[in-house]
Amino acid sequence: MAHQYDVIIIGSGTAGLSLALRLAAYARVAVISKTELASGASYWAQGGIAAVLDTQDSFTEHCQDTLIAGADLCDPNAVEPIVKLAPEMIQWLDTLGVNFCKNDTQTQYDLTREGGHGKRRIVHAHDATGKAIQTTLIEHVLAHPQITIFPHTIAIDLIVANKHQPEHHFVQGVYLQNCQTEQITALLAPCTVLATGGASRVYLYNTNPDVASGDGIAMAWRAGCSVANMEFNQFHPTCLYHPQAKTLLLTEAIRGEGGFLLTPDGQRFMQKFHPQAELAPRDIVARAIDHEMKRLGVPCLYLDISHKSKQFIQERFPTLYEQCLQYGIDMTKERLPIVPAAHYTCGGIQTDIYGQTDIPRLFAIGETAYTGLHGANRMASNSLLECLSSAYLAHGKIQTVIQSPMPNQPVAHWDESQTCDPDERVVITHNWEELRRFMWDYVGIVRTTKRLQRAYHRVQLLKKEISEYYWRYRVTPDLLELRNLVDVAQLIIISALLRKESRGLHYNTDYPHSSAAFLKPTVLNPLVIRTLTEFV
Ligand code: FAD
Ligand code: SIN
């Protein structure tokens, strides 16, 4: 069968767009995006990209810091190649036109520091690095004749041939819904790539854009892929605490440039928790803030950089300076009220470093994938690096896949004949709220087995209700996202229940220590998932 495209990429973040540009040299590429091209987390990235570019730094140290932050759960075979690719990825972006900050003579990158990094190694574009990268990538993608964009189009499910015969199965393409007309079509290609970003919207309070509903992870799981380490959801320590600020992240680079974390009475406290104080790995800082807030019974703590000069703050953090002013806070003069919020999905679809999943002709890259780079806790600014490196590593493998002919298998048309228009949309809004609330309350920064079990009972109930609704009524984008969120929530809860220890981002007070018995990723395989009663 002749296909219009060689590769379907679902997602237009840094992972998806950089892969599209690399593939377009020899392939016809379709890029699917749920809303606008700049909708993903990539656009909102602040701090930067980690890369060894200073003569005083080394790949060994970047690898070592990553392994330490990952609490012994990173895969060194993923860490080393990804870290070593970093300088080349920065050079590639620079050549495309990304305007990274440089020194006065424009000869060297201005490097900043963030949590867990022993050296200054974060390349940035002031405090809006993601915007600089995405704007450039989008410009190139839009100009490329080999790339076709499908904005406002949501992927519903992967089309898998021979799904129940693992030795013969493969992905043929994807069912898509146009978010404006709600029309559903099947798009087929010899290779499909999930670059759909993370799932932090499963939590009520998070730093992520609306699209981060874990769609890729849920679709891959339903298609038969293994997922790994879903218990490790990262909470960013510093989000602005303000009634009108929904999700304003205050970059870790503020601490990298000398900002302090303070209790309401103005005392620093991070030295009590870690020798690196404010620049300890992110899991430790978020947990320390949570601990201090509970100990003191206060709704927020504070981040203060007002001891630096006004000129420095305005030049280094121009976007945040303006945004905070809009909320009535002048960060050059006063401290910023902060709380932690869900930020990054360290686990995801299990892949190798080339993005290959369990199913032939299906790849996954970026935040949706689990390559082994992040282990039990991602080090700051290693995510954009992973997006770029994985796209680079995947494109060679994809070239081979698209050259091998796809077996000709009939594809079932989307059948809505047994469905009708939903009568009570309140079921969707109510379940969105309920799911994200109990995930925040029971599966958050500090967990207990009892809380996880409570969450487990609730997620089972919601999953049943949402599944019934899905099969009975015509689908809409918000129903599809809810269905994905409940699948992802279930995977997080089961993974958390299985890990009977504390490590990195997973802290369970019933098992407060790390255990050698759990020195491996939590891998869930949909074909061999154990019976549910085992977890409760
Ligand atoms: P995203 O950029 O999230 O893109 C996902 C894409 O998939 C979107 O286009 C979305 O529309 C699309 N999509 C999703 N589901 C579907 C579907 N069903 N159908 C069609 N399309 C779909 N990391 C760093 O390394 N450095 C930083 O400084 C940094 N700062 C951050 C600041 C913030 C506020 C946030 C939220 C994250 C930050 N991160 C940072 C993390 C990093 O930005 C993300 O991990 C990374 O950008 C993810 O890129 P991605 O391409 O995998 O996904
Ligand atoms: C930040 O700027 O603090 C976010 C960096 C990241 O998530 O890697």
User: What residue's CA is closest to ligand 1, atom 6?
Assistant: 11
In a domain, 256, yes or no: yes
Instruction: Say if residue 248 is exposed, middle or buried (CB neighbours under 10 Å; 0-12, 13-18, 19+).
Output: buried
In a domain, 258, yes or no: yes
Q: 289, 319, 343 — which closes off a domain?
A: 343
Q: 308, 343, 378 — which closes off a domain?
A: 343
Domain check: are 436 and 528 in the same one?
Answer: yes
Looking from the CA of residue 47, the nearest atom of ligand 1 is: 28
Interval 469-483 mean pLDDT: 95
Indicate whether 219 pLDDT > 90. yes
Q: What is the CATH number of the domain that holds 248?
A: 3.90.700.10
Indicate whether 2 pLDDT > 70. no
Interval 395-421 mean pLDDT: 92
Q: What pLDDT, on the 0 to 100 scale, is given for residue 106?
A: 83
Residue 368 C-alpha to ligand 1 middle, in angstroms?
Answer: 9
State the sign of the Cα–Cα–Cα–Cα dihedral 66, 113, 44, 436.
Answer: positive
In a domain, 456, yes or no: yes
Per-residue pLDDT tens digits for 107-123 = 899 999 999 999 999 99
Q: What pLDDT, on the 0 to 100 scale, is given for residue 532?
A: 47
Q: What is the CATH number of the domain that holds 450?
A: 1.20.58.100
Cβ(340) to ligand 1 under 6 A? no
Interval 479-483 mean pLDDT: 97
Q: What six digits make up the tokens of 379?
A: 């080090």
H/E stretch holding 123: strand 122-123
Per-residue pLDDT tens digits for 88-97 = 999 999 999 9
Per-residue pLDDT tens digits for 378-391 = 999 999 999 999 99
Q: What six digits make up the tokens of 418?
A: 């047994």
Looking from the CA of residue 379, the nearest atom of ligand 2 is: 8
Residue 408 C-alpha to ligand 2 middle, in angstroms?
Answer: 45
Residue 528's pLDDT band, with cuts at 50, 70 and 90, is confident
Ligand nearest to the CA of 123: 1
Of 234, 235, 231, residue with least CA distance to 500: 231
User: What residue's CA is closest to ligand 1, atom 39?
Assistant: 45
454 is catalytic: no
Distance CA 308, CA 74 (A): 36
What total number of domains does the chain contain?
2
Interval 128-149 mean pLDDT: 98
Distant-in-sequence, close-in-space partners of 237: CB < 8 Å, separation ≥ 6: 252, 261, 282, 285, 286, 289, 338, 340
Residue 105's pLDDT band, with cuts at 50, 70 and 90, is confident
CA 406 to chain centre: 31
Cβ(388) to ligand 1 under 6 A? no
In a mutational test of the pocket of ligand 2, which residue from 250, 251, 255, 344 has the highest number of ligand atoms less than 8 Å from its CB? 251
Interval 12-34 mean pLDDT: 98
Per-residue pLDDT tens digits for 52-85 = 999 999 999 999 999 999 999 999 999 999 999 9
Of 42, 253, 27, 255, residue with least CA distance to 147: 27
**Look-up of token digits 């999700």:** 247
Cβ(289) to ligand 2 under 6 A? no
In a mutational test of the pocket of ligand 1, which residue from 93, 137, 185, 367 has the highest number of ligand atoms less than 8 Å from its CB? 367
Residue 172 · residue 406 · CB < 8 Å: yes
Cβ(70) to ligand 1 under 6 A? no
Of 47, 54, 42, residue with least CA distance to 109: 54
Indicate whether 189 pLDDT > 50. yes
Q: Which amino acid is at 403?
A: Q
In a domain, 464, yes or no: yes
Q: What pLDDT, on the 0 to 100 scale, is given for residue 246?
A: 84
Mean pLDDT of the residues in the chain: 95
Residue 229 · residue 521 · CB < 8 Å: yes
In a domain, 205, yes or no: no
Distant-in-sequence, close-in-space partners of 8: CB < 8 Å, separation ≥ 6: 30, 32, 173, 174, 187, 189, 191, 192, 193
Q: Where are the beta strands (DSSP E) in 219-318?
A: 227-228, 233-240, 260-262, 301-304
Distance CA 269, CA 289 (A): 9
Q: What six digits make up the tokens of 403?
A: 């050259």
Per-residue pLDDT tens digits for 289-341 = 999 999 999 999 999 999 999 999 999 999 999 999 999 999 999 999 999 99
Domain check: are 240 and 339 in the same one?
Answer: yes
In a domain, 312, yes or no: yes
Tell me the residue range of the domain where 492 lies: 426-532
Indicate whether 495 pLDDT > 60. yes
Residue 198 C-alpha to ligand 1 middle, in angstroms?
Answer: 6
Q: 343, 374, 392 — which closes off a domain?
A: 343
In a mutational test of the pocket of ligand 2, which residue from 14, 46, 240 has the highest number of ligand atoms less than 8 Å from its CB? 46
Ligand nearest to the CA of 346: 1
